[in-house]
Amino acid sequence: MSKGLKIFLKIWMFLGFAFLYIPILVIIIMSFNGTAYGMFPFKFTLEWYPYLFTKSELLPAAVLSLKFSLTVAVSAIIVGTMAAFGMQSMPERFRKGLNSAFQLPITIPWLVQGVSLLLILNLLGIGRSYFGMFCGNVICVLPYVVMLVLGRFAMADRTPEAAARLLGAGPVRVFFDITFPMIVPGVLAGGMMAFIVCFNSFCIQYYLAPFGVRTLPVEVFTLIKTGYKADLNALAALMIMISLAVILLLNRMGYSGTSLFAAGTKKGKMHHD
Amino acid sequence: MKKEKKKNPFRIGSLWAGPSVLMLLCLSLVPLIMLLGFSFMNGNIMNGVFPGWTLENFRKMFSGDTFSKLMGKSLGIGALVTLICIVISYPIAWGIAKVAKPHNRSMFLMLIILPFFTSQLLLIYAMMMILQSGGILMTLLNKIGIASNGTSILYTPRAVILVLVYEYLPYMILCLYTSLESIGDNLVHASRVLGANTFRTFVNIVFPMSIPGLLSGILLVLVPVCGSFAESALVGGPNGMMVGSLINSQYNTVLNMGYGAALSCVFLIILSIIMGVIRLLVNCAEKRIGGDTE
């Protein structure tokens, strides 16, 4: 590669990253700004952070979203791990079919997913409810868990299981003593991903949340639509930091950016990493 | 035969996938199929009572030009956003795959995946902060003298495009990266040694080999962009309507759910055709370069 091209690529990369990160950095800086509407002059203050945790209307929404996403993530972990485990003893054909069926909830636009679920819930007389919102979010995050756990199964050496069975261990014992420890990283990564995706999933919650109940994404949507809130900057800064922490943690667990992305977008190329 | 038996010792074990299969059926497949039924529904479901059938929804959709206009506009915005993403992403993906040092590479990838783990609304909000009149960009442009005071592209369709590019750029970069990374350095080197210049190497080697990544990137950007409504609602202003906004309004303001179902149905069918074609092209491209096609 010629030198000129290299320099061009480096400059281009720098500009690209600047484009991606300047808005995020501005939010973080503005969360320390005392002047209203994120404008100049910049006056340093820390007041928004205590405000966020004491008086802000965002706090109840954030707490609700945390609890809700945790419930969804745990449910998705249980059902998804069971699915990935079951898929191991499926004939190739069924496994492939199920694999592509799992892509459905994340391939179709969430707008359509939300709308179709809302209609069916209305027909059943349930309508907008916690139950509906729970179902809608679980089905949207389940694929992430399944993909990440399946990836773990594909990597794992399966001989210890066979050995344990030969030595007389029952299926339950084999699962908890050997299989489960083997796939724990996949389960954890899937759970974290499920949590984050659910925590941020605006569209589904916008359609299925009970009337009057505002999860964080819905609350943020309403806030941005109606006006500016300085404590939103503080919350955004915190949330970005948490996302960054989760990514770093996943990276320590051996999931690179591309492998997470492959699982998240079901490109099914886990074995490349 | 023997090998297969060894691989699948407990067929009964597949039952563990039962709950997921059931959930996929009840929460994804059945609602989608029923959406088609709901699109013939006359109005709204009240207290679980079905209001009856009608063809009015489809007549309404195809007689006026609101739907076709907005659908065309959404596809246009989708295509434009995808194109901009490709142009910006290509050099970045190539740079990360081939120019960046290996130990920096994983850091770059993590930085790119961060937006995927961040709320879409926060990304929109961040962009709004930059763009607002009196915000950082406009103050800066004003100081230089490019923009006059108090103006901003916020609340115009251009802002929608900018925000969408910002949101979906990481998807395109990562898709292209996966493809470009797998191109062997030897191949590029061989082409250079045999006398091809940079441009010919790109046209004959690099670009054809990146087509699978490019196509899956297009798939990942085009589909959600066409279906977006939050962006146009927040930064689009009065002229920012997209087909997603039209569908959304049937559920939140106009409250004509039957019509909304018909709209989403046709929208989904159009998108599925586009997705199908792109998938087909991906498979062809992967076969041509001899990659694995799963």
User: What's the CA gap between A238 and A52, in Å, rounded?
Assistant: 11
Domain that holds residue A166: 56-272
User: What's the CA gap between B226 and B271, in Å, rounded?
Assistant: 8
Mean pLDDT of chain A, nearest integer: 83
Scanning B54-83 for CB atoms below 8 A from A yields none
Record: contact A2-B48, CB cut-off 8 A: no
Record: contact B24-A236, CB cut-off 8 A: no
Domains of chain B: 55-288 (1.10.3720.10)
**Residue A194 confidence (pLDDT) above 50:** yes
pLDDT in tens, chain B (294 residues): 344 444 444 467 778 888 888 888 888 888 888 888 888 877 777 766 777 787 778 888 788 788 888 889 999 999 999 999 999 999 999 888 888 888 788 888 888 888 878 888 888 988 888 887 767 777 777 777 766 666 677 788 888 999 999 999 988 998 888 888 888 777 877 887 887 777 777 777 788 888 888 888 888 888 889 888 888 888 887 777 888 888 888 888 878 888 888 889 999 999 889 888 988 888 887 777 765 444
DSSP A25-60: HHHHHHTTB-SGGG-SSP-B--THHHHHHHT-THHH
Task: Answer positive or negative: Cα dihedral of A103, A109, A113, A114.
Answer: positive
Record: contact B177-A258, CB cut-off 8 A: yes
Q: What is the mean pLDDT of residues A62-86?
A: 92
User: What's the CA gap between A83 and B15, in Å, rounded?
Assistant: 8
Whether A10 maps to a domain, the answer reads: no
Q: Which of A100, A146, A258 to mutate against chain B (most B CBs within 10 Å)? A: A258
Query: How would residue A69 be classed by pLDDT, with cut points 50, 70 and 90?
Result: very high
Please tell me if residue B204 touches chain A, with a CB cutoff of 8 Å.
no
Cβ neighbours of residue A216 closer than 8 Å, sequence gap 6 or more = A58, A61, A62, A64, A65, A199
User: ipTM value of the model?
Assistant: 0.85
Whether A20 maps to a domain, the answer reads: no
Q: Which pLDDT belongs to residue A36?
A: 64
Q: What is the mean pLDDT of residues A126-139?
A: 89
Please tell me if residue A258 touches chain B, with a CB cutoff of 8 Å.
yes
Please tell me if residue B91 touches chain A, with a CB cutoff of 8 Å.
yes
Please tell me if residue A196 touches chain B, with a CB cutoff of 8 Å.
yes
Please tell me if residue B94 touches chain A, with a CB cutoff of 8 Å.
yes
Q: Which residues of B touch A265 (CB under 8 A)?
A: 171, 175, 216, 220
Q: What is the CATH number of the domain that holds A196?
A: 1.10.3720.10
User: What's the CA gap between B23 and A79, in Å, rounded?
Assistant: 9
Whether A221 maps to a domain, the answer reads: yes
Domain count, chain A: 1
Q: Which pLDDT belongs to residue A79?
A: 93
Whether A143 maps to a domain, the answer reads: yes
Whether A37 maps to a domain, the answer reads: no
Record: contact A247-B15, CB cut-off 8 A: no
Task: Answer positive or negative: Cα dihedral of B267, B270, B273, B275.
Answer: negative
**Residue A272 confidence (pLDDT) above 70:** no
pLDDT tens-digit series, residues A224-259: 887 767 788 888 888 888 888 888 888 887 777 677
Question: Measured between CB atoms, which of B19, B175, B224 is closest to A109?
Answer: B224
Q: Which pLDDT belongs to residue B149?
A: 62
**Residue A221 confidence (pLDDT) above 80:** yes
Residue whose tokens read 């609700």: A64
Whether A26 maps to a domain, the answer reads: no
Whether A75 maps to a domain, the answer reads: yes
Whether A80 maps to a domain, the answer reads: yes
